[in-house]
Structure 1
């Protein structure tokens, strides 16, 4: 099938615009293949050469970036120094997309993260409403059986444009992560039953392999409600099933050779077994985050250490390497890594959560959890 004139060039421009940094010819070729189908490597190289320096800049041997935006990138300090270093963990106060764009290829061994997959609920406007108890996109539910229910984002109100923005968000995340993670590295992303399919599709389009999901088996307070303003008339109806599980979508950067080759070279390519007798499973029994942990780290989507430590331990099959959480929040993933003796890096944009993480990380990591 013949391609439209300029489609290869446009595909390259689209990819480099998305990642906002330079990329290797190999990565560019893979991005073009995922975007428009099979194209010979020589065609991609020809387009790069023919359009340099008018559109592309050859940064070094086999690496290119867009010419546009040179002045903005020159001299810009994105990564800087970590604002917090506790144990083997480092936390950066930065936009994670900009931070990822500045990192070396193949410098991270695994990713475990709970991103703002609703996007809208983490804008400054909606976070201010949440802090003041006014709700907004966050639904502040009434007390239930004497217990105050935690705020929940209204994912069901997302429109078509919101979902398109969500797709672009995760495709960009997938492309950036695909570059910095080593071959065979695990990428585990928290989601929910309503949106996990979009997350999976977008990140696979960015070049990652989907490897299933890990189910956090926990009964949440999402769903199960009777019809609004008609709960007495339809008392036997639940509009949406009560959610009793939480999907963490599992991806892998494509292997380099066989699994055993990848393990020897990159220390990745699988999950760490809990014991010789028991393989790592895709269902982890959990409970809601304990009040003690919520008091230590005030974050609306804080996950319990008992769950996180099992997950973080598993993503490094040989117990070696660096775990990244690009949406670190109040540092719970980093705290879990510290408790395990793993190296970890977190990136958080919101200064409020960075400030919370400073004290929360050592406290969370010191919590005693029953052995896995």
Structure 2
């Protein structure tokens, strides 16, 4: 007898949901399904389905046992938190870090479980592929530009977005549309999504998220002078001393989107706690321009990641993303865990997902230390400690 499409799949999931964290062998699953269906079930069909969906839906244990992802002892329920699924690397305070592919991870999460997103994704995708990360870690560049040391300081690598081909740009756009579509059901209505970008590719990310169904709510401008741009023509700097190939970068765009609300913003706030941005104070709303220094050397000593953003900046945007200060913030491209550290510093629940095993390990070690970084603000006559970096726009790590 033939089986209907999805019948064996659903039976496997039902079987594994019954046994929980102990899991079951393919032989045990076949026996269970044969009893339920009242006829023999092909063992090859069960084994093929399990193997094709591991990792992803299923986790393979020792002795050939399988269990549903999220039923293992590494992912326990905590009162007041939505149960999420995946390989948990770290639970620190109110932060959770998972290691895996964020697109696959999102596909396995419960609906309406995340209240805001702050993330610094792989802008061009290419630079974070294994072969490029290998070159980066070996100091040989590839798509990464390794700037020379300046004034005795070793500067952070920069991805070369100008080298991206048309096909790679198209791939980037499709990636972010796929990301947005998978993220959408996991977000509560009215959740804001803040995505770091680059002036050369931000339009593609914006188009993709718009097509995925998000409402564009503007940009947060991070005012920061980096080493990007301003160079004279390569191998012709003496011939054209008064020419810059590109303007020197003095800002960084962070794209702001929102999942559509249910009714008015006020109605959405009452039901979901989302729909707006948290004000800095009674007198001062959250603004779209934030002055920022490059990441402080002390923070880089804690988490040496090429895209590390300063806690002084991250704590401001993370604080703003939950209008009532309640809910869970997600960083699906967690890197060194700096967003989770910022959330921990301001007292928010947070979840991060990181694909690269070495960066996941870096984040596991770094989140606690980054969360304890002291942030100060400049005031007349000196500096004043500001634990969350949210009172004034000009901040500095000390």
TM-score by length of 1: 0.80
User: Is 1:142 aligned to residue 148 of structure 2?
Assistant: yes
User: Is 1:76 aligned to residue 58 of structure 2?
Assistant: yes
* Corresponding residue SS for 1:83: strand
The alpha carbon displacement at 1:58 in A equals 12
Counterpart-to-counterpart distance in 2, 1:146 and 1:83: 36
Provide the aligned length of Structure 1 versus Structure 2: 311
Counterpart-to-counterpart distance in 2, 1:239 and 1:209: 34
Counterpart-to-counterpart distance in 2, 1:307 and 1:142: 26
Q: Which residue of 2 aligns with 1:275?
A: 281
Q: Find 1:213's aligned residue among 199, 216, 219.
A: 219
Question: 1:114-170 CA deviation, whole Å, 9 max, x = no partner?
Answer: 011211111111111111111111011233455443211110010110011001110
Q: Which residue of 2 aligns with 1:328?
A: 334
User: Is 1:112 aligned to residue 118 of structure 2?
Assistant: yes
Q: Residues 265-344 of structure 1 correspond to what in structure 2 (within 5 A)?
A: 265-344=271-350
The alpha carbon displacement at 1:73 in A equals 3.8
* Corresponding residue SS for 1:213: strand
Counterpart-to-counterpart distance in 2, 1:311 and 1:243: 21
Q: Which residue of 2 aligns with 1:47?
A: none
Q: Residues 342-357 of structure 1 correspond to what in structure 2 (within 5 A)?
A: 342-357=348-363
Counterpart-to-counterpart distance in 1, 2:331 and 2:214: 17
* Corresponding residue SS for 1:219: coil
* Corresponding residue SS for 1:112: strand
Counterpart-to-counterpart distance in 1, 2:348 and 2:268: 20
TM-score by length of 2: 0.75
Cα RMSD (Å):
2.0
Q: Is the 8 A contact 2:86 2:105 kept in 1?
A: no
Q: Residues 1-372 of structure 1 correspond to what in structure 2 (within 5 A)?
A: 72-73=52-53, 76-77=58-59, 78=69, 79-144=85-150, 147-370=153-376, 371=386, 372=391
* Corresponding residue SS for 1:197: helix
Change over 3 Å in CA distance of 1:55–1:165 after alignment to 2:
farther
Could you tell me which runs of 5 or more consecutive residues in structure 2 were left unpaired when the two chains were aligned: 11-47, 60-68, 70-84, 377-385, 392-398
Counterpart-to-counterpart distance in 2, 1:57 and 1:157: 47
Counterpart-to-counterpart distance in 1, 2:187 and 2:279: 21
Bigger-Rg structure (1/2): 2
The alpha carbon displacement at 1:232 in A equals 0.7
Counterpart-to-counterpart distance in 2, 1:349 and 1:236: 43
Question: 1:86-133 CA deviation, whole Å, 9 max, x = no partner?
Answer: 000000011100100001111100000001121111111111111111
Question: 1:159-194 CA deviation, whole Å, 9 max, x = no partner?
Answer: 110011001110011101111111100000000100
Question: 1:247-285 CA deviation, whole Å, 9 max, x = no partner?
Answer: 000000001000000000000001000100001100111
The alpha carbon displacement at 1:57 in A equals 11
Counterpart-to-counterpart distance in 1, 2:230 and 2:153: 16
Change over 3 Å in CA distance of 1:278–1:192 after alignment to 2:
same
Counterpart-to-counterpart distance in 2, 1:132 and 1:55: 47
